[in-house]
Amino acid sequence: MLTIKQLNKTYSNGVKALDNLNLTVEHGMFGLLGPNGAGKSSLMRTLATLQSPDSGEIIFNGKNILTDPQSMRNHLGYLPQEFGVYPNVSAVDLLNHFAILKGLINKVERLEQVNALLQQTNLYQHRKKSVSSFSGGMRQRFGIAQALLGSPKIVIVDEPTAGLDPQERNRFHNLLADISEKTIVILSTHIVEDVNNLCPDMAIMASGKIVKQGAPHLLLNQLSGCIWRKQISKQEVEQFQLTHDVISQRLVAGKAVIHILSESCPEVGFEPIQADLEDLYFSAINTAVA
């Protein structure tokens, strides 16, 4: 179990990335939603012991990982948002090297796990090619393979499906679902659908704070009856933005469709709709800004 208490981080240029953040994660898949700049990656990097916060506590399985980072690293699998690889090193060699770095000293066991992971990520037939020649999706799969080396108790994946095609995304989701049966998987993303599909527990983060946390269906219940929809013309949008709490605006067949958060029907012409995760997301971050 992972407990984060009163985490604070301000960068040297004055940006406050983490603002008194509190979070608890039990086993299984946990989704962390938030816009760019919310502080998700800062949080992920702090959890992965790559960054120190200004103040706060992070307890994982009874140990404070800020004072004892090695206790986290011993059980950690981390897939960062962006990473590169050494040129001219094959997938199997590089994975093997990471396995050594993760303490898999026994050669037989190590080779076994490396091969198994390569197969699981569908990279086995490419194992002798150099990783630097892989496409984006293959590289991402390699990343998850190295994150799964050893037997991590917590896997942190930061924006893992950005840049993957739909088929790869599906495959990736299945893999994550498989892992999450026994470990904590923290999935940080701005793709609402991914959280929707995978996560029994989630949080929404904005401006360095957790603005909503809980099981998705429970959070959505809070919004029932408060989301209204109307189709309007493009010129009217600005006017509505000034007078109502417009949480989203999109184009459908050339016309603007707006969603509004309101306890009761705002105006003639609005129809109530079933809130979905996207509405939850937009309403949460708009409230955070206001």
Partner 1 sequence: MMLSLLKFEWQFHSRQWVFYIALFACVAFGGILMFSQSVDSDILINGPYYLARLICTLAFLILPFLVSAFAGNAIVRDRNVKITELIFSTKVSKWHYLFSRWLGLVLITSLLFLTAGVGMLMALMLLDNLQLSIIPTIAAILWPILLLALPGIVLLASILFAVGLFSKKNIAVYIAGIMFFLVYQLLLVKTGSVLMANPATGSETLQFIFSLLDPFGSAAFFDQVKLWSPAEKNSYYINLSGILLANRLLVLVLALVIFIFCYQKFTFKTEPKLSKNQSRVNNVESSTLFKVLKPYKSVLPQVGILVNWLAFVSQWKVEYLATIKTRSFLAILLFWLVILISEIISGFAPSGSLMPTPFAGTIEALWRFQYDMLPRFMSFFMVFFAAEMAWREQDYNAESFIHASPVGNISLFFAKWIALLFIPFTLITVTIFVSASLQLIYGGNIEWPVYLSLYYYCGLPMVCIATLCLFIHNISYNKAIGMTSSLLVVIFAISPAGDYIGLEHPMFSFSSHPLLQYSDLIGFAATSDAFAGFMKFWLSISVVMLLLGYGLYRRGAMVSLINRVSFIRSQWGHFGVGFFLIATTLSSYLGYQVYYQTNEIAHYQSNDDAINWRVGYEHKYLQYQHLLSPKVSSIKTQMDLYPAQRRFKMQAQYILHNPHQESLQEILVSTNVKVDYTDVQIEGASLKSYDPKYGQYLFQLNKPMSPGAQLNMSFSVAQQQNGYLGLVADNLIVPGFSYVRAIRYMPLFGFNTHNQLPSPSLRKQFGLAELPAQKSLEQAIAEQQGDFSKDYDWTNFETVISTSTDEVAISHGELVAQWQENDRNFYHYKTNGKIRNVLAYLSGRYLVANRVVDDVNLQVYYHKNHQQNVEHTLDAMSATLKYANQHFSRYPAKDLRLLEAPRVLGMTGYALPQVMLISEHGGFRDDLTNNSNIHSTQRSSFDQVYRRTAHEVAHQWWGHGLNGAAQEGGAILVETLAKYTELVLLEQKYGREYVRKLLRHEHQRYFFGRARSSENELPLYRADANHLIYSKGAVAMYALKEALGEAVINQALRQLMNHHSYPKPPATTLDLMTALKTFSQPAQERLVDIWFKDIEIKDLSIVSASYQKLSDTSYQVDVCLKAEQTNITEFDEPRSTANKTLVWLGILTSHPDELVTKGSDSEILKIEQLNLGNQEKCLTWTVKEQPSHVAIDPFYNQLDQNRDNNVLVPVNTLLN
Residue ranges that bind partner 1, judged by CB under 8 A: 11-15, 35-38, 45, 48-52, 69-70, 73-74, 76, 78, 80, 82-89, 93, 97-98, 100-103, 105, 143, 146, 206-207, 238, 241-242, 285, 288-289
* Least distance from partner 1 to the Cβ atom of residue 241, Å: 5
* Least distance from partner 1 to the Cβ atom of residue 102, Å: 5
Instruction: Look up residue 76 and give its amino acid.
Output: L
Q: Which is nearer to partner 1, 132 or 170 (CB)?
A: 132
Query: What residues does 187 pair with on adjacent strands?
Result: 31, 157
What's the CA dihedral at 9, 67, 146, 134 to 10 degrees? 30
* Least distance from partner 1 to the Cβ atom of residue 165, Å: 22
Give just the sign of the alpha carbon dihedral 260, 262, 267, 271. positive
User: Minimal CA–CA distance to 186: which of 83, 9, 43?
Assistant: 43
Q: Which is nearer to partner 1, 16 or 27 (CB)?
A: 16
* Least distance from partner 1 to the Cβ atom of residue 207, Å: 6
DSSP code of residue 106: -
Helix residue ranges per DSSP H, 48-180: 69-73, 91-101, 107-120, 136-147, 166-179
Give just the sign of the alpha carbon dihedral 145, 150, 151, 157. negative
* Least distance from partner 1 to the Cβ atom of residue 200, Å: 25
Q: Which is nearer to partner 1, 242 or 252 (CB)?
A: 242
Q: Which is nearer to partner 1, 25 or 79 (CB)?
A: 79
Q: Which is nearer to partner 1, 140 or 201 (CB)?
A: 140
